[in-house]
Amino acid sequence: MGDHSTVIALSGKGGVGKTSLSAAIVRILTEEKPDKKILAIDADPAIGLSVALGVTVKETLDEIRLKVAKDVTEGMSETQDILAEAKFRIFEAMKEDKGFAFLAIGRPEAAGCYCAINTYLRQVISMIADDFDYVVIDGEAGIEQINRRVMEKVTHLLLVSDQSRKGIEIIKTIDRVSKELVMAEKSGAVLNRILHPESLDESILEGIPLLSVIGADDVLVENDIEGMSSFELPKDARILEGARKALNKLEII
């Protein structure tokens, strides 16, 4: 093990397969790195990674944030106490027995701005990343969390897209902005749900390294319809093979 943790984040347009791929990566890491500490973070307020991993959410980060804030107003004022309480609650919430820990940002009840929870998430990632060997972050769709530096500690950035012009434009923007706001050692594109993978024209990426191409897969669709997790997919499911290939190219496995 190197001297710092591997923090993998998935980013891209809505609906391109970020959650499916995040869940596939978590499964592969538990299989390939059984003695390592792995944390999965659902950073999307829309929630979905818990289902894709087959875990139940105990307390979300947003709930913890509100509870700790309430304790502060009720008199607990020592900074160390507040931090210790937040850390304790976060570690309680993360406990999971499937070979990885899990944390969900949750759905903030106040409508509109997610700034507060995103700032909190950024601080929490800084605080807990070192306690794990691998952290996998399923990002919210779009570029907001990159802009807000939520992803600043990310070491490996996966830009996920389908074949759509819009999806590709978004990962190009993320690639450009992340060069300034994310300290990733490596990054690259995963093209998912591709109709004719063998005839895909790589030049559409304009220089972004291509990590893997994943075909459309009915097995995954059926798995999702049944509400089953990535751990229930057949070993040769396309999403798992594509995730393995991407992790290989990034030299993570």
Ligand X SMILES: Nc1ncnc2c1ncn2[C@@H]1O[C@H](COP(=O)(O)OP(=O)(O)OP(=O)(O)O)[C@@H](O)[C@H]1O
Map residues 27-66 to x or -, x wherever contact with Mg ion holds by CB under 5 A: ---------------------x------------------
Range list of β-strands (E), 13-110: 38-42, 101-104
Q: Interface residues for ligand X in 33-72 (CB under 6 A)?
A: 44, 46, 48
Per-residue tokens: 179: 């060069």
Asked if 192 interacts with ligand X (CB under 6 A), we say: yes
Does residue 227 belong to the site contacting ligand X (CB under 6 A)? Answer: no
DSSP 130: G
One-letter amino acid for residue 167 of the chain: G
Q: Is 217 helix (H, G, I), strand (E, B) or coil?
A: coil
Hey, what are 177's tokens? 């902005």
Binding of ligand X by 131 (CB under 6 A):
no
Q: Closer to Mg ion at the Cβ: 64 or 105?
A: 105
- Contact region for ligand X (CB under 6 A) — 9-17, 108-116, 175-183, 200-208? 9-17
Among positions 5, 11, 19, 161, the unique one binding ligand X when judged by CB under 6 A: 19
Amino acid at position 63, single letter = E
User: What amino acid is encoded at 211 in this protein?
Assistant: L
Contact call for residue 27 and ligand X (CB under 6 A) = no
- The one-character DSSP state at 199 is G
User: Which residue bears the tokens 């600043």?
Assistant: 152
d(Cα 212, Cα 113) in Å, to the nearest integer?
34
| From 31, 131, 224, 241, residue interacting with ligand X (rule: CB under 6 A) | 224
Segment 1 to 20, residues that bind Mg ion, using CB under 5 A: 18-19
> CA of 150: how far to CAs of 20, 53, 154, 187, 189, in Å?
21, 22, 9, 16, 20
Minimal distance, residue 193 CB to ligand X, in Å: 4
Tallying the residues shown for the chain, one arrives at 253
161 binds Mg ion (CB under 5 A): no
Contact 82, 72 (CB under 8 A): yes
* Interface with ligand X (CB under 6 A), residue from 29, 239, 250, 252: 239
Chosen from ligand X, Mg ion, none, partner binding at 20 (C-beta under 5 to 8 Å by type)? ligand X
Site for ligand X in 194-223 (CB under 6 A): 214, 216-217, 220-221
CB nearer to ligand X: pick between 59 and 224: 224
E-assigned strand segments in the chain: 6-12, 38-42, 101-104, 134-138, 156-161, 186-194, 210-215
**Is position 215 an interface residue for Mg ion (rule: CB under 5 A)?**
no
Could you tell which of ligand X, Mg ion, none binds residue 51, using a CB distance below 5 to 8 A set by kind? none
- Total residues contacting Mg ion by CB under 5 A comes to 3
CB 145 within 8 Å of CB 117: no
CB atoms within 10 A of CB 79: 9
Instruction: List interacting residues with ligand X (CB under 6 A).
Output: 14-20, 44, 46, 48, 141, 192-193, 214, 216-217, 220-221, 224, 238-239
